[in-house]
Amino acid sequence: MISIKTEQEIKIMAEGGKILAQVMKELMLMVKSGITTKELDKVAEDLIFKFGTEPAFKGYDGFPNTLCVSLNETIVHGVPSDRELREGDIISLDLGLKHKGYFADMAVTLPVSNVSPEAQRIIRITKKALKRGIKKVKPGNTFGDISNTIQRFAESQKYQIIRDLCGHGIGKELHEEPQILNYGKRGKGQKLKPGMVFCLEPMLAIGDWRIIKSEDGYGFETRDGSLSAHFEHTVAVTDRGCQVLTE
């Protein structure tokens, strides 16, 4: 069952989302050659506590860190390590926090220094896919309308949708109903209603959409080793349309 949040609950979630966006902005400024992913994780955790909030991911299903850091062919849920960023890498930063009992979740993919044209392009197109999905968030549309819009745009740009991973509802729990696929048919699924809050997170690959588990036991990567990108926002359905909570 999809929970409907009150205006007060959405206000609290927007407070948390704004804090999360500030933390993410700080992390994005630190992405450069030579820094380790563990260093980024440490900064993320310190900032989350500084703002009086709690990490959402640390300890969730045993995940050992605050920040998910996924490089190149790793799509999501990569574990921070002593691996230094190198010029040409692309990095997904996925971060969540808990504020006054409610969760917020967001992700971005960034280039490290100078990257290949194909890396630049998949980052740009995945970000656009999220924006197009967000434009479909309004009362009366369905989850299938969102999913189909993301799929059609990604495939028109010759990218594959990662089919085994998806967006999700969010609130007092990090993952709530429904699961929101990044592919689907228009008009299918439940209709959007004011008060619904969920995370949209398109994940695209240059090559095959099929995935395998990473050696760290938490991450997922493309089976063929092709580059992938991931963007995510927490959004709320309002009477007027969509409110992005993580910006």
Give 129-171 pLDDT, tens digit per residue.
999 999 999 999 999 999 999 999 999 999 999 999 999 999 9
pLDDT for the residue 77 = 97
Q: Distance between CA 168 and CA 174 in Å, rounded?
A: 9
Phi first, then psi: what are they for 32, rounded to 5°? -160, 165
Q: Distance between CA 237 and CA 242 in Å, rounded?
A: 5
**Both tokens of residue 230?**
């991931």
pLDDT for the residue 239 = 94
pLDDT for the residue 80 = 97
pLDDT for the residue 222 = 97
Burial grade of 108 (CB within 10 A; 0-12, 13-18, 19 or more): buried
Domain contains 182? yes
Domain contains 42? yes
Domain contains 247? no
pLDDT for the residue 23 = 98
pLDDT for the residue 14 = 98
Domain contains 211? yes
- Residue 26, helix vs strand vs coil: helix
- The range of the structural domain enclosing residue 195 comes to 7-241
Q: Distance between CA 17 and CA 156 in Å, rounded?
A: 31
| Number of structural domains the chain divides into | 1
- Alpha helices (H) in the chain, listed in sequence order: 7-30, 37-50, 117-135, 143-156
Q: Distance between CA 37 and CA 39 in Å, rounded?
A: 5
| Helix or strand run (H / E) with residue 95 | strand 90-99
Domain contains 2? no
What does the chain come to in residues? 247
Residue pLDDT tens, the chain, 247 long: 899 999 999 999 999 999 999 999 999 999 999 999 999 999 999 999 999 999 999 999 999 999 999 999 999 999 999 999 999 999 999 999 999 999 999 999 999 999 999 999 999 999 999 999 999 999 999 999 999 999 999 999 999 999 999 999 999 999 999 999 999 999 999 999 999 999 999 999 999 999 999 999 999 999 999 999 999 999 999 999 999 999 9
Domain contains 101? yes
Domain contains 18? yes
CATH, residue 92: 3.90.230.10
